[in-house]
Amino acid sequence: MLVLSRKVGESLVISKDIEIIILESTGQTVKIGIKAPKRIKILRKELIEEVSIENIEAKVNLSDINIDYLIKSLIKD
Amino acid sequence: MDKELIITFVDGIYGFEHLNRFAFYKRQENENNPFNIMQSIEDPSVSFIVIPPFLLDQEYEIELEDSDIEGLDIKDESEVMVLSIVSVPKGENFFSVNFRSPIVFSMKSKLGKQIILEQSDYEIRHKVMLADN
């Protein structure tokens, strides 16, 4: 992993078209700005991890599923 | 939806990045059944229950990014299918529906993707109370 020190207002460039700018730093929090082409997807890592965990927990055994019960719960709503 | 539809997920889905092909089908043909099964072709032991989120929230909407429209080869809105994964935790009185990261695919190109809505208030676990047994 490359480790760099940056001051507020400084930035760094990845490839040619992605720029990461340090906007503000207060205590433990760093506010960064990212300039990148629209095709580059930027996601907070914890969100990816949370969705991965949710998918893993949502996995079902086909033999255990009681669809009728779920349908009944929807109708009740 | 077709009786059995096979969709290719080039990147897999989150947590199952190695699984690229999923079949979508109804377990029981019943007009009142909005739930579909999403089952891995490569590992049939990996299955999910999915439901169109619009059925739970009529105002549910997402905006696809250009990169997704391109990646899924979507030409027209009418070919897009949006489904949410359902989770039924054991011992709880609710099930939850993932509004935050829907499964999106094109019925035409048969390409799909799980999209994470970064800027959104939708919940990963949108709760629906279970009926009393």
Q: Which helix (H) or strand (E) holds A54?
A: helix A45-58
What is the rounded distance in angstroms from the CA atom of residue A21 to the CA atom of residue A45? 18
- pLDDT value for B28: 72
**Residue B97 confidence (pLDDT):** 97
Whether residue B26 contacts residue B62, with contact meaning beta carbons closer than 8 Å, is answered with no
Percent of all residues in chain B with a pLDDT value above 70, rounded to a whole number = 96
Of B74, B85, B75, which is closest to residue B125 (Cα–Cα)?
B85
Complex ipTM: 0.92
Residue B21: domain span? 4-129
Size of interface A-B (CB pairs under 8 A): 107
pLDDT of A76 above 90:
no
Tokens 């899924």 sit at which residue?
B72
CA A26 distance to own-chain centroid: 22
In this predicted structure, what is the pLDDT of residue A6?
Answer: 95
Q: What is the reported pLDDT for B2?
A: 52
Instruction: Specify the pLDDT at position A23.
Output: 98
CA distance A6 to chain B (A): 26
> Alpha-carbon distance B133 to B38, whole Å?
26
What are the pLDDT digits (tens) for A47-75?
999 999 999 999 998 888 888 888 888 87
Per the structure, how many domains does chain B have? Answer: 1
* B131 vs A39, A55, A72: nearest CB: A72
Provide the pLDDT for residue B1: 54
CATH number at residue B37: 2.30.290.10
pTM above 0.95, yes or no: no
pLDDT tens string B22-53: 999 988 767 778 999 999 999 999 999 999 99
Rg (CA), chain B: 15
Cβ–Cβ below 8 Å for B116 and A72: no
Question: What letter represents residue A47's amino acid?
Answer: L
